[in-house]
Structure 1
Amino acid sequence: MGQQNRRQFLKQLGLGSSTVIAAPHLLGVARAAGASEESLLRQKIEHVVVIFQENRSFDHYFGTFQPKNGQQIINLLDAQGQLDRRFLGLQKNPAGIAYDNLPLPTDIPGFQNVQLPNQPFHIAPYIPAKGNVHWDPKHRFFRMMAEINNGKMDRFVALAGGSKTLLSRDEFKKMSPEQIAFDLARPSGPVLGYYTGEDLPFYHRVAHRYTLFDHFFQAMSGGSTGNALL
């Protein structure tokens, strides 16, 4: 199957009114027998399996994925298969000033003594795909809304990490509105990191063979449980 969004895929499975995707020989059999393509496809489907990863963005796994059938998907690459220029120098600090180089967490060994430009980067040399580093962006609604920044998409680095310190009411009163708004954010460049097909061969192999939801978005901005239920 080609790359498509979730709603299109479910409709094509007969869960909504639309056309269906089926192998050409199955369509020929359906026409010869006078059966509808949708009913024939339903008879062939026993299970629908959806694979999703927790705490991973689409670009983190499929930012450089290129379909073999010539179709286009929305990720980090432009039509020529190069890193899209719209991502270069995009990320800004809370004051709205673009980073020259990405701020990096020195507590993660792979990023010590490293300088990376302000753009998405191949993260495998610093954190291998099998290296389960206990670090990821904060799962909070208002933090996520601030990262999106009214569609500018330029605060993901600035608001990625954060302090786990529990502050008293008096301490909060001493903070500026900007500090409170950003919830003591700690900038962290690895949120722009991506893996390639060589790093994640299984996932890319499955994506080539089946359907990849490149228009899939989390159901709610927040923690994991709500998204898993939805």
Structure 2
Amino acid sequence: MSTRRTFLKYALFGGAAAATEGLPAAIRRAYAIAPEPGTTYLNAEHVVILMQENRSFDHMFGTLAGVRGFNDRRAIRQKNGSSVFVQSGKSGETYAPWRLNIHDTKVTWMGSIPHSRDSQVDAWNGGHHDRWIDVKRPHKKEYRQYPLTMGYYTREDLPFYYALADAFTVCDQNYCGVMSSTTPNRLVFWTGTVRDQQNTASNVYMRNPEILEGGMTWTTFPERLEKVGVSWKFYQNELSQTGGMSPAERSWLSNFGCNVLECFDSFNVSSNPGFGEWIEERIRECSE
């Protein structure tokens, strides 16, 4: 990483404009901010945390120079001797990783593959990791024959992300906190656990619906920050449990329940003025 940063420092501040003209302006501006000598992350005024979901590290950065990626010689071997990066289905077809070409195909619009708790466990298959083709087939019937689970993007597809990784530090081999879907991983993100108590007899929240029902009571990270005098903000367009949005607005602006702080009693989401309207909308949906 230091070699890459040295090159960029030369290119950005040494006049080699041609070498960096492809970098997005936002990244050039961020990289140009020089820290004061002797400072550390403890001097930061703000820390911004953004969680994106349903993308594995290799799905985005499997071809990034300097990471283990698809050429990882230490990747586990399956029972048939093949690398975990070579997956076979029940019907005998075998696939290696292949590029999801954003520019010349309609792959972006072919829909997602399952990312539920059940499909995660089935693909893992007791640690053998050999059922990805069969259990991660696309949701849309017209594309079920395509092994989208083996697809990945390259620098050509995600130029901003690759430029960001080039300019700063990328952490190789990152995985989700729990082998499950969106909301349990958001629990880990904002509370560090999926248990209401830290003992083996406690409830374990591993599926979206049981979390979105609300009523959780353990201490979240924002509450811990407040306790030590650190302020915080969570940015979203609107509370998930707020009515008044049209279907189109909800598709583009909704938080899709991804702020799990709304599910904790201590944040009193039900006192929001729009909560009653949201309840009425759900009742109408059930009667239609």
Q: TM-score of the superposition, structure 2-length normalised?
A: 0.42
Shift of 1:194: 0.8
Is 1:86–2:49 an aligned residue pair?
no
Task: Give the equivalent residue in structure 1 for 2:174.
Answer: 216
1:75 counterpart letter in structure 2 = G
3-state DSSP of counterpart to 1:153? coil
Q: Is the 8 A contact 1:87 1:120 kept in 2?
A: no
Measured at CA, do residues 49 and 209 of structure 1 come closer, stay the same or move farther in structure 2, by a change above 3 Å?
farther
Aligned counterparts, 1:184-199, within 5 A = 188-199=146-157
3-state DSSP of counterpart to 2:88? coil
Task: Give the equivalent residue in structure 2 for 1:8.
Answer: none
Task: Give the equivalent residue in structure 2 for 1:106.
Answer: none
Query: Could you list the runs of 4 or more consecutive aligned residues of structure 1 that deviate by over 6 angstroms after TM superposition?
Result: none
Aligned residues: 147
Task: Give the equivalent residue in structure 1 for 2:100.
Answer: 123
Measured at CA, do residues 45 and 163 of structure 1 come closer, stay the same or move farther in structure 2, by a change above 3 Å?
closer
Q: Deviation per CA, 1:154-175: give whole Å up to 9, x if none.
A: 21111113779xxxxxxxxxxx
Shift of 1:60: 1.4
Aligned counterparts, 1:101-180, within 5 A = 118-124=95-101, 132-133=108-109, 135-161=111-137
Q: Is the 8 A contact 1:160 1:188 kept in 2?
A: no
- Structure with the higher fraction of residues in helix conformation: 2
2: CA distance, partners of 1:49 / 1:76 = 30
2: CA distance, partners of 1:193 / 1:163 = 15
Q: Is the 8 A contact 1:91 1:157 kept in 2?
A: yes
Q: Deviation per CA, 1:182-216: give whole Å up to 9, x if none.
A: xxxx6641111111112111001111222223232
1: CA distance, partners of 2:150 / 2:103 = 13
Structure 1 unpaired stretches of 5+ = 3-24, 31-39, 68-72, 80-84, 101-117, 165-185
Task: Give the equivalent residue in structure 1 for 2:162.
Answer: 204
Task: Give the equivalent residue in structure 1 for 2:71.
Answer: 77
2:185 counterpart letter in structure 1 = N
Q: Is the 8 A contact 1:60 1:193 kept in 2?
A: yes
Q: Deviation per CA, 1:25-61: give whole Å up to 9, x if none.
A: 989x65xxxxxxxxx3145423333444322221111
1:206 counterpart letter in structure 2 = L
CA RMSD of aligned residues (A): 3.6
Which of 185, 190, 197 is the aligned partner of 1:227? 185
Measured at CA, do residues 198 and 50 of structure 1 come closer, stay the same or move farther in structure 2, by a change above 3 Å?
farther
Q: Deviation per CA, 1:139-162: give whole Å up to 9, x if none.
A: 322321110123322211111137
Structure 2 unpaired stretches of 5+ = 3-33, 74-81, 189-288
3-state DSSP of counterpart to 2:132? coil
2: CA distance, partners of 1:153 / 1:51 = 28
Shift of 1:125: 6.2
Measured at CA, do residues 120 and 162 of structure 1 come closer, stay the same or move farther in structure 2, by a change above 3 Å?
closer
